[in-house]
Amino acid sequence: MKKALIIIAVILVIIVWKGVSTYNNIIALEEGVKTQWAQVENTYQRRFDLIPNLVNTVQGEANFEKSTLTEVIDMRSRMGGTVKLDESLMNDEAALKRFQEVQGNLSGALQRLMAVSENYPDLKSNKSFQELRVQLEGAENRIAVERKRYNETVQAFNTTIRQFPTNLVAGFAGASPKALFSADAGASTAPKVQFDIK
């Protein structure tokens, strides 16, 4: 009888220890997701903060195409004074998709601004503009990298909390799957490259 109680006690201790260990692992993974989310936010904020300097530099070009510049200004103003990626977006795929669309529209407007700037030799030779252009391109690359890292972190978290028996502890911990960034619209379509051969 005494031996049976000891065996039951040992089994209970192992189960409790495994449950606590699993719970702590879920919390650590979730904190990793939040940390990576903050990195995504930082990269979007960096790009957002570069736009006023870019706009001021471009506005100095007297004949610059105003509609493209206005589009960039409007996109930035729609986003408010800051890029705030509320953590609730991680739990709402539709809201994250809407956020991503707004960011995609801003990226598109910035790309058009850069393309149009090629038609303005004074602007192209402006050292400040060239530095801003490089910083903006760097910011766009960092956004892509941080979004990829976020998706990898979320995938590890989502996989862990859905596996048995971890899903039982995840329910107790209140852990729910996080939303992933999806590819930008048109990303699956290869760009057309056309050379004029004379």
Per-residue pLDDT at 194: 44
The identity of residue 190, as a single letter, is A
Q: Please check whether residue 86 lies inside any domain of the structure.
A: yes
Q: How many domains does the chain have?
A: 1
Q: Which residue has the tokens 């619209």?
A: 185
pLDDT at residue 19 is higher than 50: yes
- Rounded Cα distance between 7 and 1, Å, is 10
Q: Please check whether residue 183 lies inside any domain of the structure.
A: no
Q: Please check whether residue 91 lies inside any domain of the structure.
A: yes
Per-residue pLDDT at 192: 47
Q: Which residues contact 129 (CB under 8 A, 6 or more apart)?
A: 54, 57, 58, 117, 123
Alpha carbon 153 to chain centroid distance?
12
Q: Please check whether residue 11 lies inside any domain of the structure.
A: yes
**137-174 tens-digit pLDDT:** 999 999 999 999 999 999 999 999 999 999 999 988 88
Domain containing residue 101: CATH number: 1.20.1440.20
> What domain range includes position 77?
2-173
Q: Which is higher by pLDDT, 183 or 115?
A: 115
Q: Which of 98, 53, 55 is nearest to 73 (CA)?
A: 55
**58-92 tens-digit pLDDT:** 877 756 677 777 888 888 887 765 566 677 888 88
Q: Please check whether residue 50 lies inside any domain of the structure.
A: yes
Longest alpha-carbon distance in the chain? 96
Q: Which is higher by pLDDT, 63 or 33?
A: 33
Q: Which of 79, 141, 72 is nearest to 110 (CA)?
A: 72
- Rounded Cα distance between 47 and 143, Å, is 9
